Amino acid sequence: MSEGLVQILDGNTFVVSDSRGDIEASLTDPTGLFSFDTRFLSKWILTLDGERLNPLSVDDLQYFETRFFLVPGTGTVYVDAKLSVIRRRAVGDGFHEELTILNHDDKPVEITVRIEAASDFADLFEVKDALKKQGKYSNSVENGSLRLGYSRETYRRATSISSSAPAIFDETGLTLVAQIEPHGVWTTDLDVVTAVGVGGTYTTPKYHRKGRKARPNMESSLDKWLEDAPRVESDWEPLKSTYRRSLVDLAALRFAPPVMGGHSLPAAGLPWFMTMFGRDSIFTSLQSLPFTPELAATTLLALGDWQGSRLDDFRDEDPGRILHEMRYGEMTAFEERPHSPYYGAADATLLYVVLLDEYERWTGDRKLVRDLEQQARAALAWIDEYADLMGNGYVSYQRRNEETGLENQCWKDSWDSISYSNGEIPGFPRATCELQGYAYDAKVRGARLARLVWKDEAYADRLEHEAADLKRRFNRDFWVEDGEYFALALDKDGRQVDALSSNNGHLLWSGIVDKKKAKAVVANLMGPRLFTGWGIRTLAEGEGRFNPIGYHVGTVWPFDNSFIAWGLRRYGFKDEAAQIAAGILDAAECFEGRLPEAFGGYARSVTKYPVQYPTACSPQAWSTGAPLLLLRTMLGLEPLGEHLVIDPALPQGIGRLELLDIPGRWGRIDAFGRGRVHVGARGSRRQLGLAEELMPKQKRKNGKKARVTA
Amino acid sequence: MLRKATGVLSFDISDGASTAHWSVVLKKGDVLVSRAHDEADCVVTTDRPLFDGIVRGEKNAMAAVLRGEVAVEGDTELLVLFQRVSPGRPSLFAAEKSPSQGGRHE
């Protein structure tokens, strides 16, 4: 994956190829043209006169477009090409490839151009798990095109390949003859179009366009996206490029679910997770609210449409529950996987209410809150009626689909993520602590919406009463006295699963933490067991299962840290929030602005660069959203009534930070922050977090200034 | 506005040689079923056993669409909403545990 090139468009169609532009997939190799969780092309190999090509360079023009510069011949050190080849590829309803051959010689040439094409129509799940296909393949040549087909009962998928220049098609590809004048140019347009069959007819899923053109028109959409977003100005240059990278990646990660009429929400990550995920879409929408609030609106509507309505054990569905993951591939179609959609997340439903309230606070869009009243009430009812599996007043989870359902239904969803301090793993159900925080926050926010928009005082009172009761019990039952932090979970016997984890930061964000406990919690978060200098580890050093490169047991997750920073701000720990921002933004700079899902939990004093987690998915939506949320926490942006409060606390090393044209209920607002103006005092400083060490005794002075341009 | 909580679904249901037509009007959670040929926002074409399965909650509409057993034209969102108002299938969980045992805890 890491050596391949990835292009995508509009969410879930993407191409992964090698640096020549060729695709040579195997069952377990994730290259190909993918759309709706299905591989539509697994082979696409270009030869000139039977020879493979040699890559000179690759230009990633846009996230949906790449250009490969190639010359004939491979394996030699010395390239003396009389020909060069350019493949310019754009992803759309499949992909469009403009193939150009340039003759640099003073003699005319005739070249046989051959493209080998095939498709295995693998479901993404099959690619991940290396499973065998059950249907039949049928390739045919018709009307000057090659059609690759696959069918299993009524399930039909097809890929059709055509060329603008005359070509001879056969069942394994196409052959063209290029006659090129001295110093001349030959070109052809190749279209590879995906199609889904129903009955006897095929339609192209996304754009419903007739014909064979796969060419998109995304450039204007990306320009508009960048133009509409607030601008960042800062004397710390890397912040500007990280911000831009985030916006472009977020545009690439937009996904328009088939039911949403072209409106998009953030998909989870590339390439395996280009789909609607309850948790990831909500977290990313929360992070991006001050920048692109329309993502939150679509997320709320789409997840609301699919809200659970029944008890379905296969899908772990309950009435009121918000979905976990939607998939469109063959295994989902035949119910070999439960993702149509699958509901096995214990947090998405709680976070749904949190997002609805936060969305209203920023945008003032009460109409949406009114339209989604039923969905929000059903989500709140789910907490007490379906999520309290142990009957002890806490949200917990245990899958009912024991074959293909998810064991851990919180964001730390790997098998060993929830453990006692001694490393043992509890049974089910499990009531992880952050779920209680989210439930508390959902009730408090639900009460606000009930009072403000739904005009139901009694309901608001009830929710507030329940929230207060939950907070009181939680601070008693989850508090680990000797360590002064909150336990990771309660097990089925009500015993504390007592490992120290980053979840404590989410608790601050939710507001469930008693004020008098906050200081101790923060001391743990910022202490050497959790804080590496880059960020806060998922699990503290010294815990039984701690491993600095363990997926949820020691790595640092940028998304996790962004919410922890928000939590620190919520309880007034501005400097600590700035320190988290500094570490994560420094890491972002090392990754050229694109934060991975996770990186190693080694101490910063040991590794000068953050060590990328081996199989981390990138770009990933909530990592992409992390710098956005950190901009919010550094500037201390908080909607209050019709206004935006701006209370900056910048990391040492950023002298000036401006966020211009922040959209919201106020129209557009600019936010300015001034920091510890020591930039340049020691030459041009490189990394934010290190400034902390270089200048430990400097007292921070923050200026604040806000201009309203409503 | 994105949202269409209200709309008309048209079902063309083949049953051997004949095709039955049903019109379903969804109005913010209310459902009206008739034989009328209203102008539809979403046209669904399927066969009798599958349609009955979806209505009884035994078949999942989304999976059936992906399998190509149901053809949908127009606003797919309405089919999603239609399935939500159809009954569910029996759950082991429901048999074991009465779900409405909320109440206070101490």
Are A385 and B100 within 8 A, CB to CB? Answer: yes
**Number of structural domains, chain A?**
2
Within A321-414, residue ranges assigned H as helices are 330-333, 348-363, 366-371, 373-385
Are B29 and A374 within 8 A, CB to CB? Answer: yes
Summarize the confidence of residues A366-393 as an average pLDDT: 97
**pLDDT tens column, A147-201:** 999 999 999 999 999 999 999 999 999 999 999 999 999 999 999 999 887 665 6
Task: Give contacts of B 31-70 with A, CB under 8 A.
Answer: 45, 57, 60, 62-63, 66-70
Q: Looking at residue A9, what is its pLDDT?
A: 63
Are A388 and B66 within 8 A, CB to CB? Answer: no
pLDDT band at A6 (very low <50, low <70, confident <90, very high): low
The CATH number given to whatever domain includes residue A71 is: 2.70.98.40
Given a contact cutoff of 8 angstroms between Cβ atoms, the answer to whether A532 and A556 are in contact is yes
Q: Is B27 an 8 Å CB contact of chain A?
A: no
In this predicted structure, the answer to whether residue A80 has a pLDDT above a threshold of 50 is yes
Looking at the structure, do residues A211 and A225 belong to the same domain, yes or no? Answer: no
A699 within a domain of the structure (yes/no) = no
Q: Looking at residue A682, what is its pLDDT?
A: 40
Percent of chain A whose pLDDT exceeds 70 = 85
A702 within a domain of the structure (yes/no) = no
Q: Residue A290 — left, alpha, or beta (φ > 0 → left; ψ -120 to 50 → alpha)?
A: alpha
Q: What residue has token string 């050497």? A: A528
pLDDT band at A617 (very low <50, low <70, confident <90, very high): low
A225 within a domain of the structure (yes/no) = yes
Given a contact cutoff of 8 angstroms between Cβ atoms, the answer to whether A40 and A194 are in contact is yes
DSSP letters along A259-285, please? GGTT--EE--BTTTB-S-BHHHHHHHH
Question: Which residues of chain B carry a pLDDT beneath 50?
Answer: 1-4, 97-106
Low-confidence winner among A49-58, A580-589, A628-637, A674-683 (lowest mean pLDDT): A674-683
Answer with the residue of higher pLDDT: A696 or B75.
B75
AA letter at A441: D
A248 within a domain of the structure (yes/no) = yes
Strands (DSSP E) contained in A641-688 are 643-645, 656-664, 667-674
A171 within a domain of the structure (yes/no) = yes
* Cα(A519)–Cα(A505) distance, integer angstroms: 12
In this predicted structure, the answer to whether residue A320 has a pLDDT above a threshold of 50 is yes
Sign of the Cα torsion A565, A569, A570, A571 reads positive
Looking at the structure, do residues A343 and A444 belong to the same domain, yes or no? Answer: yes
Q: Is A200 an 8 Å CB contact of chain B?
A: no
Question: Strand B42-47 and strand B6-15: pairing?
Answer: parallel
Distances (CA, A) of A375 to A41, A306, A309, A446: 40, 10, 10, 11
Looking at the structure, do residues A212 and A263 belong to the same domain, yes or no? Answer: no
Task: Give contacts of B 67-86 with A, CB under 8 A.
Answer: 67-71, 75-77, 80-81, 83-85
Summarize the confidence of residues A640-659 as an average pLDDT: 95
**pLDDT tens column, A588-603:** 999 989 999 999 999 9
Interface test with A, best of B26, B44, B62 (most A CBs within 10 A): B62
Domain containing A406 equals 221-694
Looking at the structure, do residues A173 and A249 belong to the same domain, yes or no? Answer: no
Given a contact cutoff of 8 angstroms between Cβ atoms, the answer to whether A595 and A624 are in contact is yes
Looking at the structure, do residues A406 and A536 belong to the same domain, yes or no? Answer: yes
Query: Domain end: A195, A217, A239, which one?
Result: A217
- First and final CA of chain B: distance in angstroms? 45
A297 within a domain of the structure (yes/no) = yes
A709 within a domain of the structure (yes/no) = no
Distinct helix (H) and strand (E) counts, chain A: 17, 31
Q: Looking at residue A460, what is its pLDDT?
A: 98
* Cα(A392)–Cα(A604) distance, integer angstroms: 42
**pLDDT tens column, A250-304:** 887 877 665 555 667 777 666 556 678 899 999 999 999 999 999 999 999 989 9
| Tally of CB atoms within 10 A around A614 | 10
Looking at the structure, do residues A199 and A235 belong to the same domain, yes or no? Answer: no
The secondary structure of residue B90, as a DSSP letter, is P
Q: Looking at residue A217, what is its pLDDT?
A: 45
Low-confidence winner among A331-340, A396-405, B78-87 (lowest mean pLDDT): B78-87
Looking at the structure, do residues A192 and A340 belong to the same domain, yes or no? Answer: no
**Average pLDDT of chain A?**
88
A705 within a domain of the structure (yes/no) = no
Looking at the structure, do residues A454 and A584 belong to the same domain, yes or no? Answer: yes
Q: Looking at residue A213, what is its pLDDT?
A: 43
**pLDDT tens column, A453-475:** 999 999 999 999 999 999 999 99
Q: Looking at residue B2, what is its pLDDT?
A: 35
Looking at the structure, do residues A292 and A438 belong to the same domain, yes or no? Answer: yes
- First and final CA of chain A: distance in angstroms? 46
Q: Report all structural domains of chain B as residue ranges with CATH numbers, in order of start.
A: 6-88 (3.30.1050.10)
* Cα(A680)–Cα(A83) distance, integer angstroms: 51
pLDDT band at A701 (very low <50, low <70, confident <90, very high): very low
* Cα(A353)–Cα(A395) distance, integer angstroms: 15
Summarize the confidence of residues A138-142 as an average pLDDT: 93
Looking at the structure, do residues A210 and A236 belong to the same domain, yes or no? Answer: no
Looking at the structure, do residues A207 and A272 belong to the same domain, yes or no? Answer: no
Name the minimum distance, in Å, from the CA of B79 to any CA of chain A. 9
| Among B92, B91, B96, B102, CA closest to A391 | B102
CB-count burial class (<10 Å; 0-12, 13-18, 19+) for A29: middle
**pLDDT tens column, A505-552:** 999 999 999 999 999 999 999 999 999 999 999 999 999 999 999 999
Strands (DSSP E) contained in B16-92 are 18-27, 30-34, 42-47, 71-74
The CATH number given to whatever domain includes residue A231 is: 1.50.10.10
Task: Give contacts of A 387-426 with B, CB under 8 A.
Answer: 388, 391-393, 400
Q: Is A298 an 8 Å CB contact of chain B?
A: yes
Q: Looking at residue A685, what is its pLDDT?
A: 43
Q: What residue has token string 């139901």? A: A456
In this predicted structure, the answer to whether residue A218 has a pLDDT above a threshold of 60 is no
CB < 8 Å to A330, chain B? 66
> Which residues make beta-bridge pairs with A114?
A47, A175
Given a contact cutoff of 8 angstroms between Cβ atoms, the answer to whether A552 and A539 are in contact is yes
| Among A167, A168, A169, A165, CA closest to A187 | A165
Looking at the structure, do residues A295 and A399 belong to the same domain, yes or no? Answer: yes
- Residues 6 or more apart in contact with residue A300 via CB below 8 angstroms: A285, A352, A355, A356, A359, A368, A372
Distances (CA, A) of B89 to A152, A397, A624, B66, B83: 26, 21, 40, 20, 12
Summarize the confidence of residues A243-256 as an average pLDDT: 85
In this predicted structure, the answer to whether residue A214 has a pLDDT above a threshold of 60 is no
Q: Looking at residue B100, what is its pLDDT?
A: 43
Query: Domain end: A189, A217, A245, which one?
Result: A217
Q: Looking at residue A702, what is its pLDDT?
A: 43
